[in-house]
């Protein structure tokens, strides 16, 4: 039997006190699931049976400050370990959205009945924190072992349409397969009832935590849920030139790219922009793809064309503006790591690109990682051999120019122009732009030399 996860103080004493008061403390939800998967459990939630809310609040108060984070839902939070304690409850759907529920707490409920309101069987298990017994009335442990996602109750599952997106992110995170009945249930859900913020959070988890994000996205298509995300739906069946994309249509390529992008995650603040850029990078292809006179499929300017649908997709999810700016910049320039070295770009070209990216909070190194995921997310010979020579040359040149992690700082500022006897005015902006161009072209760091060159050309 697996060793029980240890509880931070004062939780062992709290659990013991609940038991002595005639209650039963049960860890529920993802905590139990993650423990059984061999992962370190996070976000402990404890359901307390056998005690009324006021009695539980009084008991918890002996161990620290207690906040009522949802009295109507029977939820109390103990400060310090920041653990939520709740009473078992029944939920009844009375209106649209996730707030349209009538909640009735009932500490006399048995665990099987209380767990029936959960979405999936893998989230319906409990762990008795005194005896160590795993409570599994709905077969969650069996489904974990079978890597199957199954609804606890087909009648109540559709009450919150967000659950369809939760299925997608669980499929991606745990590489589990939704059963046929669950796919059919999700296909009936109206995602217009889901708030954009809640939808964004599920996409965030799918992309940041997903071991194979493609599985979650493939589920959305299988369950006919792409209709709620037109930018994603548009990628399906958009053909590509087989020389560059023998793997198939844009949708197939995108699924491969998001999986490749998981290799590029580093656990830092760039990961979300990286993953959304991988998802959105070819949003411009549906509008730009055509067959040319030679019979070849082409998608000219698809990077630029992808910005508008990317922005629409993220804004509809109410994504943070900073994230949207980063992703749009990465989409705009995702071909640059291949095209710049292939086209013999000058130092100025690299420096100017670094400046454009920096304006959106993006680095050349992050752009390279997006491009590498794009390159390896296909079945060309060099991709299968894990070779990206153009990208490696791009990164090497960026390193030589010291623009991998930051853009060049402007050497010449307004004070240098004033020192040369020029009065502030409309002309300043144009002169500073020319100074920047000279700096980027020649790699100069001496403001006087840059000014000499610019003022000579502008007597």
DSSP string for 56-103 = HHHHHGGGS-EEEEEGGGTEEEETTTTEEEE--EEEEE-SSSTT-EEE
Residue among 267, 198, 276 nearest 232 (CA): 276
Residue 134 in 3-state DSSP? Answer: strand
Q: How confident is the model at residue 429, as a pLDDT?
A: 84
List Cα–Cα distances, 8 to 12, 28, 107, 372, in angstroms.
Answer: 7, 17, 25, 42
- Provide the pLDDT for residue 434: 85
Q: How many helices (H) and strands (E) does the chain have?
A: 24, 13
Supply the pTM of this predicted model.
Answer: 0.91
The per-residue pLDDT for 94 is: 47
Q: For 341-400, write each residue's pLDDT tens digit.
A: 999 999 999 999 999 999 999 999 999 999 999 999 999 999 999 999 999 999 999 999
- In angstroms, the CA 55 to CA 105 distance is 14
pLDDT tens digit sequence for 122-138: 999 999 999 999 999 99
pLDDT at residue 456 in the model? 78
Cα–Cα nearest to 212, from 268, 163, 275 = 275
Domain layout of the chain by residue ranges: 11-143, 269-400, 414-457
Whether CATH 3.30.460.10 fits 11-143? yes
Contact 432, 417 (CB under 8 A): yes
* Residue ranges in the chain whose pLDDT is less than 50: 94
């Amino acid at each position: 039997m697996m060793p029980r996860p240890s509880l931070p103080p004062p939780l062992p004493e709290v659990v013991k006190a609940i038991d002595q008061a005639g209650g039963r403390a049960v860890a529920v939800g993802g905590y139990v699931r993650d423990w059984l998967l061999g992962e370190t459990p996070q976000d402990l939630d404890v359901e307390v049976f056998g005690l009324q809310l006021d009695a539980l609040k009084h008991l918890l108060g002996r161990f620290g400050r207690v906040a009522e984070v949802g009295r109507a839902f029977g939820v109390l939070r103990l400060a310090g370990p920041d653990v939520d304690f709740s009473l078992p409850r029944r939920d009844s759907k009375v209106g649209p959205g996730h707030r349209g529920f009538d909640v009735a707490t009932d500490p006399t409920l048995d665990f099987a009945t209380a767990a029936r309101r959960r979405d999936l069987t893998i989230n319906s298990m409990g762990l008795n924190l005194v005896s160590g017994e795993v409570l599994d009335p709905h077969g969650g442990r069996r489904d974990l072992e079978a890597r199957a996602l199954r609804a606890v109750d087909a009648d109540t599952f559709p009450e919150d349409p967000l659950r369809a997106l939760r299925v997608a992110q669980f499929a991606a995170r745990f590489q589990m397969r939704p059963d046929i009945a669950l796919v059919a249930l999700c296909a009936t859900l109206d995602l217009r009832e889901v708030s954009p913020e809640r939808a964004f959070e599920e996409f965030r988890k799918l992309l940041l935590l997903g071991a194979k994000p493609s599985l979650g996205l493939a589920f959305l298509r299988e369950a006919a849920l792409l209709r709620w995300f037109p930018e994603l739906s548009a990628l399906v069946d958009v053909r590509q030139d087989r020389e560059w994309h023998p793997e198939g249509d844009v949708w197939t390529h995108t699924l491969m790219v998001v999986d490749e992008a998981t290799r590029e995650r580093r656990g830092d603040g760039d990961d979300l922009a990286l993953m959304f850029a991988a998802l959105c990078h070819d949003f411009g292809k549906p509008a730009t793809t055509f067959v040319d006179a030679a019979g070849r499929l082409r998608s000219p300017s698809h990077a630029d064309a992808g910005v508008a649908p990317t922005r629409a997709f993220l804004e509809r999810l109410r994504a943070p503006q900073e994230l949207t700016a980063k992703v749009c910049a990465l989409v705009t320039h995702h071909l640059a790591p291949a095209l710049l070295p292939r086209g013999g770009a000058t130092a100025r070209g690299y420096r100017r690109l670094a400046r454009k990216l920096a304006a959106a909070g993006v680095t050349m190194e992050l752009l390279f990682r997006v491009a590498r995921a794009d390159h390896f997310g296909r079945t060309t010979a060099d991709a299968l051999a894990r070779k990206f020579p153009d990208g490696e040359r791009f990164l090497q040149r960026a390193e030589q120019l010291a623009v991998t992690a930051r853009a060049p700082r402007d050497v010449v500022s307004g004070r240098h122009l004033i020192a040369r006897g020029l009065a502030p005015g409309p002309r300043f902006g144009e002169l500073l732009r020319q100074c920047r161009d000279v700096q980027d072209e020649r790699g100069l760091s001496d403001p006087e030399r840059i000014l000499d060159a610019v003022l000579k050309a502008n007597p």
